[in-house]
């Protein structure tokens, strides 16, 4: 198994999902999960994208075996394979110029035909070749595709597959244009086959947008005399409208999801569900290791998988609810520190215990913690509450009785009871007013715990006092 990302962008959710299926299958089979960085597009490949991809995979827990293979370092092998194909007659030099090819495609379009190379230079005589070379023409290298060939394979997801050679667009370019005595830059289908064969890949698991490539690649395996791997083409990830998820859909790279406060566990869990149905009784919340134990391609759907934010949010909240306070602190502390929010560890853990149950994302843990570190303004509803009957007298009665320093929950309850009796209001009035005073809002986490957390530093006293 291998993942072969191109470092021409950050780790896309589609690539990450492909990585998940490769990883699950490799771990299930006790096989290896290898990584190959396909960096042959020199203009678009960037080291920071490679770093982003590796970091994203690591973060998700998709550990790979061995060192990543760097495709650009293998160009000598790619050229040797092309040399072999030229020697065996499977490949030839095509001297057609860009202008000629454009003219050919325009004619095909005008005649409503699908664009395809018309194999015009497939059988040049040595004299014709010499004439083109004498003109100073450069050449691409093309691989012969027999129109009468039928290419079949048994796809682990899609079952029996059959392609006609005639539907592959004519003889395929395997090396870019270069002077006629050289071999230009080798191209995708060729290098993938050479590398997959060299890495002894037994299973190629990738998105269904590669199906036509698979047909071409199978022809290359045969021509090179290399055994072909088994293929599994996984369904695409679709947006809410049922179209392929693209950059226009906003959040699509793993680092974006991470920045939005999704956990690695939830995202990996969610990606597993994008196209795979867990066996009966397993439920939808599971770890990668649990999924690997039962993973196979019989339960991978053929239909595209629609991205469902509600499900991802649900999984993320499940993951966050399963966290201990100390674990949650590990996730939240970097966010809090970035805001300059610090306190002693046990106080921070208590805050995590308080906020944990209501978190959907870690970003919520930033927003919901804010009033514990920064004194909030009173919103409209809080101001209204303070202006209501009995509110301020009740708060004043509480303030009169409020000691300095930490309080136990029992002592706090007793203070509330006393203050309510002294002010002659219902307990609910004081509770609501206290919430308004402490949090500046009528919404928020458990009131008593909030108070107890704000009490030791004197912050509770100051927030109550400012309202009076
Ligand atoms: N570099 C290719 C891509 O990112 C790899 C496809 C494959 O898995 O063969 O689409």
CA dihedral 258, 261, 263, 264 (to 10 degrees): 0
The answer on 333 and 317 residing in a single domain is no
The answer on 333 and 316 residing in a single domain is no
3-state secondary structure of 166: helix
Give, for 381, the enclosing helix (H) or strand (E): helix 380-387
Total domains present in the chain: 4
Whole-structure pTM value? 0.91
- Asked if residue 212 belongs to a domain, the reply is no
- Asked if residue 196 belongs to a domain, the reply is no
Report the CATH number at residue 441.
Answer: 1.10.10.350
Note if 427 is an active site residue: no
116-146 burial string, b = 16+ CB within 10 Å, else e? bbeeebeebeeeebeebbeeebbbbbbbbbe
Q: Phi/psi of residue 69, each to 5°?
A: -85, 135
Report the CATH number at residue 367.
Answer: 1.10.8.70
The answer on 40 and 145 residing in a single domain is no
Catalytically annotated residue among 46, 244, 247, 311: 247
Report the CATH number at residue 34.
Answer: 3.40.50.620
201 Cβ closer than 6 Å to some ligand 1 atom: no
78, 192, 198: which to mutate for ligand 1, most atoms within 8 A of CB?
192
- Asked if residue 227 belongs to a domain, the reply is no
The answer on 327 and 315 residing in a single domain is no
Q: What is the biggest distance separating any 2 CA atoms in the chain, rounded to whole angstroms?
A: 112
Helices then strands (H, E): number in the chain?
21, 12
Which residues lie closer than 8 Å to 31 by C-beta, 6 or more apart?
1, 25, 202, 203
> What atom in ligand 1 is closest to the CA of residue 2?
8
38 Cβ closer than 6 Å to some ligand 1 atom: yes
11 Cβ closer than 6 Å to some ligand 1 atom: no
206 Cβ closer than 6 Å to some ligand 1 atom: yes
3-state secondary structure of 172: strand
Ligand 1 geometric centre to CA of 447 (Å): 53
The answer on 42 and 29 residing in a single domain is yes
Contact 107, 161 (CB under 8 A): no
Ligand 1 geometric centre to CA of 205 (Å): 10
Report how far residue 441's alpha carbon sits from residue 430's, in angstroms, rounded to the nearest whole number: 14
Res 241: pLDDT: 85
Report how far residue 140's alpha carbon sits from residue 333's, in angstroms, rounded to the nearest whole number: 56
> What atom in ligand 1 is closest to the CA of residue 204?
8
Contact 317, 249 (CB under 8 A): no
Per-residue pLDDT of the chain (468 residues; tens, 9 = 90+): 999 999 999 999 999 999 999 999 999 999 999 999 999 988 999 999 999 999 999 999 999 999 999 999 999 999 999 999 999 999 999 999 999 999 999 999 999 999 999 999 999 999 999 999 999 999 999 999 999 999 999 999 999 999 999 999 999 999 999 999 999 999 999 999 999 999 999 999 999 999 999 999 999 999 999 999 999 999 999 988 888 887 777 778 999 999 999 999 999 999 999 999 999 999 999 999 999 999 999 999 999 999 999 999 999 999 999 999 999 999 999 999 999 999 999 999 999 999 999 999 999 999 999 999 999 999 999 999 999 999 999 999 999 999 999 999 999 999 999 999 999 999 999 999 999 999 999 999 999 999 999 999 999 999 999 999
The answer on 339 and 268 residing in a single domain is no
The answer on 165 and 96 residing in a single domain is yes
Report the CATH number at residue 110.
Answer: 3.90.800.10
Tell me which residue has its CA closest to atom 6 in ligand 1: 4
Ligand 1 geometric centre to CA of 6 (Å): 7
Between the alpha carbon of residue 349 and those of residues 64, 118, 245, 317, 319, the distances in Å are 34, 70, 39, 18, 17
- Asked if residue 141 belongs to a domain, the reply is yes
- Asked if residue 246 belongs to a domain, the reply is yes
> What atom in ligand 1 is closest to the CA of residue 213?
9
- Asked if residue 424 belongs to a domain, the reply is yes
90 Cβ closer than 6 Å to some ligand 1 atom: no
Which residues lie closer than 8 Å to 361 by C-beta, 6 or more apart?
260, 261, 262, 313, 316, 320
Tokens of 403: 């000691």
Domain that holds residue 260: 1-67+235-322
- Asked if residue 454 belongs to a domain, the reply is yes
> What atom in ligand 1 is closest to the CA of residue 206?
8
The answer on 91 and 182 residing in a single domain is yes
Percent of the chain whose pLDDT exceeds 90: 96
Ligand 1 geometric centre to CA of 171 (Å): 21
């Amino acid at each position: 198994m291998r993942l072969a990302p191109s470092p021409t962008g950050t780790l896309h959710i589609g690539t990450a999902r492909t990585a998940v299926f490769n990883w699950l299958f490799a771990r299930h089979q006790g096989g290896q999960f290898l990584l190959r960085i396909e960096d042959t597009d020199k203009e678009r490949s960037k080291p920071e994208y490679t770093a982003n991809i590796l970091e994203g995979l690591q973060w998700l827990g998709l550990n790979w075996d061995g060192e990543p293979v760097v495709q650009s370092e293998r160009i000598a092998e790619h050229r040797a394979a092309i040399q072999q194909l030229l020697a065996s007659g499977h490949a030839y030099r095509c001297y057609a110029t860009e202008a000629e090819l454009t003219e050919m495609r325009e004619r095909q379009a005008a005649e409503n035909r699908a664009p395809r190379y018309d194999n015009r230079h497939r059988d040049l005589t040595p004299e014709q070749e010499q004439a083109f070379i004498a003109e100073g023409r450069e050449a691409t290298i093309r691989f012969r595709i027999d129109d009468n060939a039928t290419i079949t394979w048994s796809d682990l997801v899609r079952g029996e597959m059959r392609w006609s050679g005639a539907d592959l667009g004519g003889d395929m370019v395997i090396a870019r244009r270069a002077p006629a005595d050289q071999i230009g830059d080798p191209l995708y289908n060729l290098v993938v086959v050479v590398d997959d064969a060299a890495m002894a890949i037994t299973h190629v698991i990738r998105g269904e947008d590669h199906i036509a490539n698979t047909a071409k690649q199978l022809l290359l395996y045969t021509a090179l005399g290399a055994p072909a791997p088994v293929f599994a083409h996984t369904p695409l990830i679709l947006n809410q409208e049922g179209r392929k998820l693209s950059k226009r859909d906003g959040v699509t790279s793993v680092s974006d999801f991470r920045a939005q406060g999704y956990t690695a566990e939830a995202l990996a869990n969610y990606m597993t569900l994008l196209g795979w149905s867990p066996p009966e009784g397993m439920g939808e919340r599971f770890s990668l290791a649990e999924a690997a134990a039962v993973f196979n391609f019989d339960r991978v759907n053929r239909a595209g998988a629609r991205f469902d934010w509600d499900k991802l949010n649900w999984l993320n909240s499940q993951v966050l609810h399963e966290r201990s306070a100390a674990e949650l602190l590990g996730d939240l502390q970097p966010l809090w520190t970035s805001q300059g929010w610090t306190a002693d560890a046990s106080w921070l853990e208590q805050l995590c215990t308080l906020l944990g149950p209501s978190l959907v994302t870690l970003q919520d843990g930033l927003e919901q913690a804010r009033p514990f570190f920064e004194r909030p303004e009173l919103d409209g509803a809080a101001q209204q509450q303070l202006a209501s009957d009995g509110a301020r007298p009740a708060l004043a009665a509480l303030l009169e009785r409020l000691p300095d320093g930490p309080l136990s929950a029992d002592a706090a309850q007793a203070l509330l009871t006393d203050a309510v009796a002294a002010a002659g209001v219902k307990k609910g009035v004081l509770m609501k007013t206290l919430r308004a005073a402490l949090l500046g809002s009528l919404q928020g986490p458990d009131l008593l715990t909030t108070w107890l957390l704000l009490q030791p530093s004197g912050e509770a006293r100051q927030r109550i006092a400012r309202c009076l």
